[in-house]
Chain A
Amino acid sequence: MKKDQELIQDFQNGNEEAFNELVRRYLDLVHGFFQKLTNDEMEAEDLAQTVFIKLFKSLKKFRFESEFNTYLYRVNANTANTYFKRNKWRNILHLDQMVEPSFDDNQQDREWKKEELWSAISRLPKKQRSVVMMRISEMLPFKDIGNILDMSEGTAKVNFHHGIKRIKVLLGIIE
């Protein structure tokens, strides 16, 4: 099995099938990320498509200065941020209509909570949002998150802490 780097080199030499192989390899990861984020199958597929189209354009100039994984997560985070920006007002309006939130599994429907949770995440500042997204959906270590988002491990931790605190406030869990 070829390594990612070899596939990218093949793709840069004009082999489009190498790109398709990369798509097969990483589709579950990308699609899963957006599936969690949007809670909508179609929207997740559209966003995954956006990510791979961006990759198709940018991989031709990829200089192997970072791991492909890191690069892919960065593209994911940017695409997610664009998505949140696009839906900002919709989410804000939706949050305003919230009923009393609760994190007790017996009281609330899981789907409903998921939607509220992402609405709250979408209202975070960009850095906090990116860190929280990567931590809760991909369960990445803070060190990797720092690498992906060009910040130190400590900064990633601080951003996560502030982000979670803000989500709790937005969901009404703490004042």
Chain B
Amino acid sequence: MENKESIFSPKIIKTFLGPLNQNNPISVQVLGICSALAVTVQLKPALVMALSVTIVTGFASLIISLLRNTIPSRIRIIVQLVVIATLVIIVDQLLKAYVYDVSKKLSVFVGLIITNCIIMGRLEAFALGNKPWPSFVDGIANGFGYGIILVIVGFVRELFGSGKIMGLSVIPQSFYQMGYENNGLMILPPMALIIIGIVIWIHRSWNKSLIEK
């Protein structure tokens, strides 16, 4: 390898931070919305989902980047799908083995990671044209960018929808006796969309460069 870069060069750090803020897959690119709506009723499934997607994007990017010079461009989508599907099946089996209850809750949405636009998008846009290490970082970072939003939405929905966080009751019983009630709308899918909308709103008023002219 000529012109060897250090593994934490400024460029790599930029690749890593982009998806967390300027280029967030959900709040800026608006990708992967369906799973963000479906798995965020509680925080725990949201966390597991975020982790699964991060692992799949990271390793899919790494593998595709390693293979990038040998994949004929005409069949590259099929090769990408094979790689993603293999990784998703491995993740699915791991979830079933170690966190069976969460895996039950996530149901088809683990399998549907295969069709998550974020993964395919990163492979096409980044991994096919970059070296393995930057591609891996890019994949992991996009998984994190997706995960942040999922965790925020899951946190708000579980806290106000069922008064719990990670399955533990956090709103004291005395609140309920004073007349507090859990918000039923939070459990319903539309609220996830509204919360993502609010996140986008806050994100944009904080990072003005995102506002379109």
**Binding between chains A and B:** no
Query: Which residues does A use to contact B, with CB under 8 Å?
Result: none
Query: Which residues does B use to contact A, with CB under 8 Å?
Result: none
